Structure 1
């Protein structure tokens, strides 16, 4: 399989990058769209992207202001980011989508599913944020520190922190306020598409109670816990996450995809 093709796409005056893999075996619809979290980029999604692209049409996005994309003139809301994702996929002729978000990207996935319910077949929330019962910047930062020290691999930490440097503190903290204020519990209840919540079993940021609660609030929700990893589950356990996504959505062929999905129904 060839490397994804990087495309520069502007939506409503905001420039981002889309990394497209369309040379998958046999072709399939809908396409899978991967959305990074705060401060990050497509880089920590590359393993999952590569594994998914063997079975389904797959896209990863560097949202405006992140990765190597230019910073917008003003702070973008979650709704702005969702409009970028949907607009970019529309420009590429992608009609039906499985949205897969990580961390803050889960908020954008939910918002896009609200904006265009007819285009979204499934939503996957990996390490969703922010639990309002622990919804302060200090507590979130403490959980992030614990995750990095005890539950992440050297490669996941390297990817995350070098992307944080590329993002820069100004844009990071402007976006952090947006992330902290997004009402996940209210928004997930209005999503009609089936929702899979995925967490690393050691994740202190998206803990088990919070993820179980979110899955229960979805109209068709399911929880998948992946053992032996923390918040950046899609990098450290990419194969298990790939198989979970394919089994839940019914897309492609993966080892064990025909078996019942691991984890617990909501």
Structure 2
């Protein structure tokens, strides 16, 4: 274990017979916030938002098995297997109950954990949830990914490119295909815990606004949908202050209609155009 001058520690956990690299802040109260990264990439790009949130709460940012600095795997783990691995990581850290904050692939993983072990999940935050019908067929999803690359901050390239190269293009294609066939929407609509879904206004992987409002009407009052107008897919990296403030307001019960919101953020009212 090592500690940096900002109060974060890095540690190597023994999980299911392999090593998992994990970053953890050391100060704060309430259930820990556990950040779950996207496919082909490590948790490093989630750190900007996690560092802001660490001002008041303990944050945990692992590299899932097979990703980043964690032990490579002989084959690509699917969503259920990654969810099981995440639960094992929580066990290794003695975390009984957590707020799960997923980005991209991290969202269906968080949903899978919440459905399989709801007693372990306080709340869900789903930032740019990927997978399912909006990314089908695979060719369409790949075009969406290519469009997003051009919209992300160039500052993310030194973090993302080495991770993607290490993960490998073949593994990336296999994992993205697994994402496109995963029933993300069905899991979201039946989320067993309060859920905040955060969409990027410039994210090509997200459904159009009319479809988002329709999903909101189907989901019910336990799901809150917010829009970061200028963000693409990786809002945790590109808009950490706005995202962190949005999450804090929601966790504190202050994210309500008419409440002051961070710049560039608005709530999506699914009932506005219901008639």
| Fold agreement, TM-score > 0.5 | yes
Query: What residue in structure 2 maps to residue 145 of structure 1?
Result: 146
For 1:146 and 1:241, how far apart are their aligned partners in 2?
22
List gaps (5 residues or longer) in structure 2. Answer: 271-275
In structure 2, what is the equivalent of residue 190 of structure 1? 190
Q: CA deviation at 1:166?
A: 1.9
Deviation above 3 Å: which 4+ runs of structure 1? 207-219, 258-262
C-alpha deviation, 1:218, in angstroms: 3.7
Deviations 1:60-109 (A, max 9, x none): 11011111222223331211111111221122121221101011111101
Cα distance change of structure 1 residues 133 and 91 upon mapping to structure 2, 3 Å threshold: closer
Match of 2:231 in 1: 229
Tell me how many residue pairs correspond in the alignment: 258
SS at structure 2 position matched to 1:127 = strand
Q: Alignment partner of 1:172: what SS?
A: helix
Q: Which residue number corresponds to residue 75 of structure 1?
A: 76
What TM-score do you get using the length of structure 1 for normalisation?
A: 0.88
Q: How does 1:39-118 map to 2 (within 5 A)?
A: 39-118=40-119
Cα distance change on mapping 1:200 and 1:133 into 2, 3 Å? closer
- Structure 1 residue runs of 5 or longer lacking an equivalent are none
CA distance in 2, matches of 1:228, 1:67: 28
Q: CA deviation at 1:130?
A: 2.1
TM-score, length of structure 2 as denominator length: 0.85
**Change over 3 Å in CA distance of 1:140–1:59 after alignment to 2:** same
CA RMSD, 1 decimal: 2.3
Aligned to 1:250: 252
